[in-house]
Amino acid sequence: EAQVTQNPRYLITVTGKKLTVTCSQNMNHEYMSWYRQDPGLGLRQIYYSMNVEVTDKGDVPEGYKVSRKEKRNFPLILESPSPNQTSLYFCASSWTGGFLNSPLHFGNGTRLTVT
Amino acid sequence: DQQVKQNSPSLSVQEGRISILNCDYTNSMFDYFLWYKKYPAEGPTFLISISSIKDKNEDGRFTVFLNKSAKHLSLHIVPSQPGDSAVYFCAARKGGSEKLVFGKGTKLTVNP
């Protein structure tokens, strides 16, 4: 089954404790992206990657890191999480970043709470 | 600056009637628009899209209309079904860009 898999689904952590949210897709997609969803703010892009070893900042990259060493994986790293990073996070992928005939496929989300 | 606006946080309609979800945008460089649907505890799923060279795209019960002069698009669902109850996100792409800009979403409730 074609899917984007995020882990974990739920995570509670404390301020400053490094964490990684994993994302993997099995569709051989070149484009991958991370979003966060907050009440009243919708979906905002954190980082995206056009292909292996190619990453770029989205609209809200501060406090986050990403890496794309393999085509299928795109982990999101919070080196020193803070309470304002409490949010619902989504990983997404598509064949191309242009999205024409290639809509984004989203994972089921990771709900992160930073205390 | 919010470039894609969904001004109605929620909408409630009766089963069998039409649902109309609206989206306004400010950037005239947007050339491709998409609608995503999101159920609780799931990620958004692609619903329908439209290119700026068209003014209408239809897929079954779902139709998207684009009015470029007004910078406005709408999603029509006819007839509405209880299973359509979800949050709907409007998204837009700037020509040649690899980024999508999303609206805040509209929660649709279809009452049986």
Torsion of CA B27, B32, B37, B42, to 10 degrees: -90
Averaged pLDDT of chain B: 94
Per residue in B45-98, pLDDT tens?
Answer: 999 999 999 999 999 999 999 999 999 999 999 999 999 999 999 999 987 777
Residue A41 touches partner B, C-beta closer than 8 Å: yes
Residue B47 bridge partners (DSSP): none
Residue A44 touches partner B, C-beta closer than 8 Å: yes
Would you place residue A98 in the very low, low, confident or very high pLDDT band (cuts 50, 70, 90)? low
Percent pLDDT > 90 in chain A is: 85
By three-state DSSP, how is residue B108 classified? strand
Q: For residue B43, which residues of chain A lie inside 8 Å, CB to CB? A: 4, 90, 92, 106-109
Per the CB < 8 Å rule, is A45 touching B89?
A: no
| Selection from B26, B1, B24, B3 nearest residue B100 by Cα | B3
pLDDT of amino acid B22 = 98
Give the pLDDT mean for A74-82: 97
pLDDT of amino acid B76 = 98
pLDDT of amino acid A68 = 97
CA atoms of A98 and A93, how far apart (whole Å): 12
Which residue in B41, B91, B99 is closest to A48 by CB distance? B99
pLDDT of amino acid B109 = 98
Both tokens of B7, joined, read 């001004």
Please count the CA atoms within 13 angstroms of the CA of B46 that sit on its side-chain side.
19
pLDDT at A89 over 70: yes
Which residue in B49, B99, B104 is closest to A41 by CB distance? B104
Q: Burial level of B34, CB count in 10 A (0-12/13-18/19+)?
A: buried
A-chain residue closest to B95, CA distance: A98
Per the CB < 8 Å rule, is A98 touching B93?
A: yes
Q: For residue B100, which residues of chain A lie inside 8 Å, CB to CB? A: 45, 99, 104
Averaged pLDDT of chain A: 94
Q: Which amino acid is at A112?
A: L
pLDDT at A105 over 70: yes
State the pairing for strand pair B72-77/B19-25: antiparallel
Per the CB < 8 Å rule, is A100 touching B100?
A: no
Give the pLDDT mean for A94-104: 78
Give the pLDDT mean for A45-52: 94
Q: For residue B23, which residues of chain A lie inside 8 Å, CB to CB? A: none
Would you place residue B103 in the very low, low, confident or very high pLDDT band (cuts 50, 70, 90)? very high
